[in-house]
Amino acid sequence: MGSENSAPPLIAIVGRPNVGKSTLFNRLVGRRRAIVEPACGVTRDRVYESFFSGRHAFRLVDTGGLIPGSREKIPAAIRAQADKAIAEAQVIFFVVDAKCGVHPDDVEILAAVRRAGKRIFLIVNKVDSPAQETMHAEFHALGISDVFCISAEHGLNIEAMLSLLEKEVAVPAPPVVPREASLCRIAIVGRPN
């Protein structure tokens, strides 16, 4: 009980700046905890929160947007934070922007994420209406089988993503042991006196 095995799985939200990582984080935790900005590079530190989906608990960590190859001090620090989040996580939500299509930085970040060997969900964000779903077709070329077209801002299609998470990643709740059965029975035996 309370061992590492029963800790809720950790999901790291990773991707380029401005793809909607913090918006997704806030959508899942149900409040505005991570800062959402139209400007790049606003989320610098890792932000952790728990959330429930169905009867399962998960932990979520938001990371700053990754800019591959940047040697500047702040992007490098953001990258170090994101690397830690990726190392700790069991699942990566790799977020891309449907409106931009596949960006060269997506390819580079994904290669780094793959090296960590974690389970990856490809989240194609900013699919704000069903008509826009065709936009995700090119993302299949990234070679990830679990692709979800969502709108973090409008809360669209989040359920499909969560149900796979529940099915495959959730830690089963420990079995409820009936109170009677959990009591030890002790027999005291011996000669009279």
Nearer to Mg ion, 74 or 137 (CB): 74
**CB atoms inside a 10 Å sphere around CB 98:** 23
In the range 119-138, which residues lie near ligand GDP by CB under 6 A? 125-126, 128
Quickly tell me which residue has 């530190």 as its tokens: 45
By beta carbon distance, the residue nearest ligand GDP is 20
Site string for ligand GDP, 7-36 (x = CB under 6 A): ----------xxxxxxx------------x
- Cα-flanking dihedrals φ and ψ of residue 19, to 5°? -85, -10
Site string for Mg ion, 40-69 (x = CB under 5 A): ---x--------------------------
Closest CB 176 distance from ligand GDP, rounded Å? 39
Nearer to ligand GDP, 56 or 158 (CB): 158
Site string for ligand GDP, 63-102 (x = CB under 6 A): --x-------------------------------------
Would you call 18 helix, strand, or coil by DSSP?
A: coil
* Binding partner at 126 among ligand GDP, Mg ion, none, C-beta below 5 to 8 Å by kind: ligand GDP
Does 49 bind ligand GDP (CB under 6 A)? Our answer is no
Maximum alpha-carbon separation in the chain? 87
Would you call 94 helix, strand, or coil by DSSP?
A: strand
Q: Which residues pair with 58 in a beta bridge?
A: 51
Would you mind telling me the total number of residues written for the chain in this entry?
193
Find the DSSP H helices in the chain. Answer: 21-29, 73-88, 104-115, 158-168, 179-182
Quickly tell me which residue has 């005291």 as its tokens: 188
- CB-based contact 16:106 (threshold 8 Å): yes
Q: In what order do the strands lie in the sheet with 119-125?
A: 47-53, 56-62, 10-15, 91-97, 119-125, 147-149
Closest CB 173 distance from Mg ion, rounded Å? 32
Catalog residues that contact Mg ion under the rule CB under 5 A: 21-22, 43
Catalog residues that contact ligand GDP under the rule CB under 6 A: 17-23, 36-38, 43, 65, 125-126, 128, 151-154
